[in-house]
Amino acid sequence: MNILGTGMDIVETRRIAESMDRFGDRFLQRVFLDGEVAYARSMKFPHLHLAARFAAKEAISKAFGTGIGRELGWRDLEIVREVSGAPRVQLHGRAAVYAKTRGVQVIHISLSHTNDYGAASAVIVG
């Protein structure tokens, strides 16, 4: 196995909170899948958890070397939780097809957040 790419991202949690306030469900539905939104809304401060997931999607797209665009869309990348609580990437649509063509076997991610920042790193192995 080889490391195919690494990526990291950090986002201001205030930016996510402002987008939620300004655009509401339109913003959430553009960037996140239903399970991600439901999980975040089950927490005391949803914008903190959404910021970490936003950063994860950016980190994954950077690890692929594509950014969010033609090969990978926001909703093609889903951050889910294992029973243990560990985050895991679920690929959908274009991302699943693109990952298969690149020989991706696993994507490791790590998420973190504070009151001010959401951060994530990603390592793609193939």
The residues that are catalytic are 62, 113
Report d(CA 105, CA 112) in Å as an integer.
Answer: 24
The SS3 call for residue 65 is coil
The beta strands (E) that lie in 1-126 are given as 3-12, 77-81, 87-91, 106-113, 117-125
3: three-class secondary structure by DSSP: strand
